[in-house]
Structure 1
Amino acid sequence: MKKVSEVIIGVSRRLRKEMTGSEKILWEKLKSKQLKNIKFLRQAPVYVYTENSGLDRYIISDFLCREYNLIIELDGSVHDLKEIYELDKHKESLLTNLGYKIIRFKNEEIHSNLEKVLSKIVASFSGQGERIQERGLKNRS
């Protein structure tokens, strides 16, 4: 894995401090391996090398599970704008080519039906069944 620059680390730290309401709600359910004892990182940089441009770059994911190559993105209304939507699709293509699975949720889904969102996240680990089942839910104190 390529060493992350101090600039990218700084951006990630700032984004962690300035999480949206939806990100905070979901993070409360993902942090400390609360969901099926699986580790998630928030506002985590993912290294992407774009061959056609020869540029190194990072995409900062809302939530990342390195163990299962899963990225969770939360989208506010700005993601409905055509240029942002196109940028999201481009990033998704780069990440998919690296073997990541990306699942997206609208902010409203987090607020209106968090349990359904969590179920979809668990379901996204399909094909990993035995590994996930063995973990169970972590005890919450």
Structure 2
Amino acid sequence: MAIVARARAMRKALTPAEARLWVALRALRAEGLHFRRQAPLRSYFLDFACADRFLIVEVDGASHDDEDRARKDRVRDAVLAREGWRTLRYTNLAVRDELEALVEDVRMHCLARPTRSALRADHPPRDGEGEAPRS
């Protein structure tokens, strides 16, 4: 199955916790924070990603308690961290029982991170890039 098709299928099969969090994260659009669900990145599928802030939100069920799965999660988080991404992990129970506080935590992490455009502004164009001199 192609990556985009798989992501679409995964979006239609959200867990109850993911569906609940998705509704709450969509409310953050009013503050300019746009999340995508089941977003493909490299060989991974991110539960939720705010690409402008390089922030990933993962909802972990009981399967993530398994040591092998937890190790894979740590490796994935480290790989993505090297590219500037920050991963926040919450349990299904936290989504169920503490949704308001959890969303506020996500919001605060987003607002504390620079935007993509701010990161680009910190790096001047390389030689040969940017606007050509006008004559």
Short-chain TM bin? 0.7 to 0.9
TM-score normalised over the length of structure 2:
0.78
Q: CA deviation at 1:95?
A: 0.5
Matches of 2:93 and 2:28, distance apart in 1: 24
Amino acid at match of 1:88: D
State the partner residue of 2:123. Answer: none
Percent identity (aligned): 27
Paired residue for 1:86, among 53, 61, 71? 71
Matches of 2:74 and 2:30, distance apart in 1: 27
> As a proportion of its length, which structure holds more helix?
2
Question: 2:38 touches 2:46 (CA, 8 Å); kept in 1?
Answer: yes
Q: Which runs of 4+ in 1 moved over 2 A?
A: 31-37, 125-129
Amino acid at match of 1:119: E
Root-mean-square deviation (CA), in Å?
1.7
Q: CA deviation at 1:21?
A: 0.2
Cα distance per residue 1:64-112 (max 9 Å; x no partner): 0110000000000000001100110111011001100110000100000
Q: CA deviation at 1:125?
A: 2.6
Q: Please, which runs of 5 or more residues in structure 1 have no aligned partner?
A: 1-5, 48-57, 130-141
> As a proportion of its length, which structure holds more strand?
1
The count of residues paired between Structure 1 and Structure 2 equals: 114
Computing the radius of gyration from Cα coordinates, the structure with the larger value is: 2
Paired residue for 1:46, among 41, 45, 64? 41
Q: Is 1:21 paired with 2:6?
A: no
TM-score normalised over the length of structure 1:
0.75
